Amino acid sequence: MTVVGPFGLSVRDQALEADVQAGLAAVEEGLLEATKSDVPFITEAAQHLVRAGGKRFRPLLVMLAAQFGDPYAPGVVPSAVVVELTHLATLYHDDVMDEAEVRRGVASANARWGNSVAVLTGDFLFARASRILADLGPEAVRIQAEAFERLVTGQILETAGPRDGRDPVEHYLDVIAGKTGSLIAVSGRYGAMMSGADERTVDVLTRYGERLGTAFQLADDVLDIASDSHESGKTPGTDLREGIPTLPVLHLRAQAAATGCPADLELCRMLDGDLGDDALLAEVLRRLRAHPALEQARRDTIRYAREARAILAPLPEGFAKAALENLCDAVVHRAG
């Protein structure tokens, strides 16, 4: 059994491992090629996050989904480059919106070059993704456009907040399905579609990707509070400090509103305070780690991961299906 990728993904077949590793290596080359410009400064800015590394979760899913058809089909690697370029572009924009200073262990583009350069670099990456898509056909372009619409809608809904009377937790899950699930769903869809898999398989892997994507984001929410290390790729409490309403916090606020528990109300007030204070942040993290809201968020994460795994049932048994099931297990492990 071989471990591939950043999630401890178990691959029990040497041929599958070789396909995945070769595919991801080709994607890496494709990303560097797609981010080159005749203007050296644009190349530097566009390759800033590419060279910083990352999980490459979306390209990995493309490669695994392609195993249900011809994994060597010419559209597989380019489609994986497209989804990763799109993801990277959103990170440039997200960092501007969140006023983030660090991304993947390096200075964010906006911290290094300013907001205008960061936004325009994100736009440059979208343009390059579109150029690659044009060679993959109108159906691929339509799929990407629909996913990008959902992604942006999710971002707008997050910014606007839930409408009056709407359950904040339900609103948040809709936001995550759009912001994160949509592009991961496209990863499964492109991998299957570009490899020539049948329509039922394409549908299964699309639905699987969306469910897994939601579970993946919720696991990050749990890790932001529960991790004592840099397991999540960022310092614990980062989302809390930035005022991002993650699932454990939403569960806490719902419980505080329902019960009026003084300790919960006090914790909510602390969350609304200045979490730039390290001591206050540490105390908030300590209390949240002991609060039932964190366990509730963990259960939600596990539920989504199990639903993703169940969606795979119609697919033929084999190493590729087992690897996709292992991805679900890896997400659960991250949240555990």
- Each domain of the chain, given as residue ranges in start order, spans 2-335
In the chain, the amino acid numbered 273 is: G
The CATH classification number of 2-335 equals 1.10.600.10
In the chain, the amino acid numbered 222 is: V
Note down pLDDT in tens along the chain; length 336 residues: 354 554 545 566 888 989 999 999 999 999 999 999 999 999 998 888 888 878 899 999 999 999 999 999 999 999 999 999 999 998 888 777 766 676 766 777 777 777 888 889 889 999 999 999 999 999 999 999 999 999 999 999 988 899 988 899 999 999 999 999 999 999 999 999 999 999 999 999 999 999 999 999 999 999 999 987 544 455 788 888 888 889 999 999 999 999 999 999 999 999 998 888 889 999 999 999 999 999 999 999 999 999 999 999 999 999 999 999 999 998 888 876
The 8-class DSSP code of residue 3 comes to: E
Alpha carbon distance 233, 105 (integer Å): 8
Q: For the range 277-281, what are the long-range contacts, defined as Cβ-Cβ under 8 Å and sequence gap of 24 or more? A: 281/237, 281/240, 281/241
Q: Exposed, middle or buried, 37 (CB in 10 Å: 0-12/13-18/19+)?
A: middle
CA-based angle 213:215:221, to the nearest 5? 110
Strand 102-103 and strand 2-4: the pairing is unpaired
> What's the Cα-to-Cα distance from 83 to each of 115, 147, 218, rounded to whole Å?
23, 10, 20
Alpha carbon distance 67, 200 (integer Å): 15
In the chain, the amino acid numbered 76 is: V
Coil, helix or strand at residue 196: coil
